[in-house]
Amino acid sequence: MLLKNKKILISGLANKYSIAAGIANSMHREGAELAFTYQNERLLRNLKPIAENCNSKILLECDVSNDQSIETAFVELGKIWPNFDGFVHSIGFAPADQLEGNFVDVTTREGFKIAHDISSYSFTAMAKAAKPMLNDGSALLTLTYLGSIKTVPNYNVMGLAKASLEANTRFLAASMGKDNVRVNAISAGPIKTLAASGVKNFKKMLSEHSKIAPLGRTVTTEEVGNVASFLCSDYASGITGEITYVDAGFNIAAMPLNAYEE
C-alpha cells in the first residue's frame, strides 16, 4: 500500500480510457483517498462511475482556462480536505487545426497561446492554488510527451507547450522544495485516449512505436498509473524535478528493432 493515508486530487479524467483513469485505479489500489476535478458537466457522467469505484465522493468542476473556476474548485476542496498530499495534472489541449499540417504554416498566435495556457500554465496555476493546503511530503505530478524534446509529425505547437511544461516541472520543483513538496512529470508513450482519438494517423503512430521501442509494444494507462503511484509515494522522497519516461524504452532507441533484417 504505497499511498496509505495520502489524499490526492486527480484532474483530467474524461473517460475510462484517460491516463488519469489508469492513475486513479492504481492510486486507489495503493490505498490513497482520491478527489477529482472535471472540465465541464458533460464529462461528469463518465467520471462518476470511476470515482465511485475508487470510493470517492469528491467531484469538483475546474476549467483551467478560467482563474475563477480554479479558485472555486480549491476553495470547495478545502472545505472537505483542509490539507492534502498532492495532485495529478493530466490536462493538455491545443485547437485541432494546430495539430495537422506543416508546423510553420499551421501555427497561429492564438493556437500557440491556448496550447501553452491550457497545457503548461495550468500546472503552475493549480500549484499556486494548492500550495497553502499541501502537507509536508506532498507530490505534484504532470503528464508530458516526447514531442517536447524531439520533433513528431503533427504534434506541432503541443511540442512547444510540453517543453514549457517540463521546464515548469523543474521551476516548480525548485520553488516548492523548501516546503518539502516534490514536483515530477511522466513522459508517456502514445496511448489511444480521447485526446488521441481526434489525431490523424494515430494507429500508424502506435504501430511505428512498437517497431522502435525496446519492449516491442506500446504502454498501457495501468503502467503509467503505477509509476504515478510510485512518484507520489514516499518511496520517491528523493526524486523531484524529474521527467520519468514510461514509453517501453522508445526514447532511448535510435533505430527500429528490425533495422538490419534482410
Residue positions annotated with a catalytic role: 145, 155
Pairwise CA distance, residues 31 & 36, whole Å:
16
CA atoms 237, 6, 39, 196: torsion sign: positive
Among ligand 0WE, ligand NAD, none, what binds residue 32 when CB lies within 5 to 8 Å by partner kind? none
Residues in contact with 185: Cβ distance below 8 Å, sequence separation at least 6, in sequence order: 141, 142, 143, 144, 165, 166, 169, 242, 243, 244
Q: Which residues pair with 7 in a beta bridge?
A: 33
**Helix or strand (DSSP H, E) at 86:** strand 84-89
Nearest to ligand NAD of 4, 113 (CB atom) = 113
Among 46, 154, 169, 226, binds ligand 0WE (CB under 6 A): 154
Least Å distance, CB 245 to ligand 0WE, is: 13
Q: Which does 96 bind (CB under 5 to 8 A by kind): ligand 0WE, ligand NAD, none?
A: ligand 0WE
Q: What grid cell was written down for 92?
A: 493538455
Kindly write out the interface string for residues 87-126 of this chain, putting x where it contacts ligand 0WE by CB under 6 A and - elsewhere. -----xxx-x--x---------------------------
Q: Which is nearer to ligand 0WE, 149 or 199 (CB)?
A: 199
CA distance 160 to 117: 12
**What are the residues binding ligand 0WE (CB under 6 A)?**
92-94, 96, 99, 145, 152, 154-155, 158, 190, 195-196, 198-199, 205
